[in-house]
Amino acid sequence: MTHEHTGSAHGKAVLRELSPLHRQLRQAIPDVYRGFNELSTAAFADGDLDRRTKELIALAIGVVEGCDGCIASHGQAAAMAGATRQEAAEAIGVTFLMHGGPATIHGARAYEAFCEFADAVDAKESAS
């Protein structure tokens, strides 16, 4: 089932906006970014929890934190790791319990972003 993407500003648009900002800051503090990248690589490596599950956890944390960049980044990564729309919805659903009303706002944004990325993954798979 494909989600009707409505062209929100919560997925790819957020990543496009942040990309040049990260590039500028990375040039100023390359060692910090290198260390963060190593931490990220280690945290998302497959273990008893696979990358898909870890990305869904990160997506849910992004919802609770109200971080649109985290939502976009981990929504994209979760979709690319094979997470389904239902898995994303259920992970977001847990945030309602843990964070209440604000999670319903950021959760809706996160689901829209995830579906945008899932649509892109589906389109890529259809083309191959």
E strand or H helix at 45:
none
* d(C-alpha 50, C-alpha 55), whole Å: 9
Residue 13's pLDDT is 83
Residue ranges of alpha helices (H) inside the chain are 12-28, 30-44, 51-65, 68-80, 85-99, 101-127
The predicted-structure confidence for 12-21, as pLDDT tens digits, reads as follows 888 888 888 8
- Look up residue 18 and give its two tokens: 């942040």
* pLDDT grade for 8, boundaries at 50, 70 and 90: low
Q: What is the pLDDT of residues 112-125, one digit of tens each?
A: 999 999 999 999 89
Indicate the pTM of the whole model.
0.86
Domains of the chain in start order, with CATH, are 12-127 (1.20.1290.10)
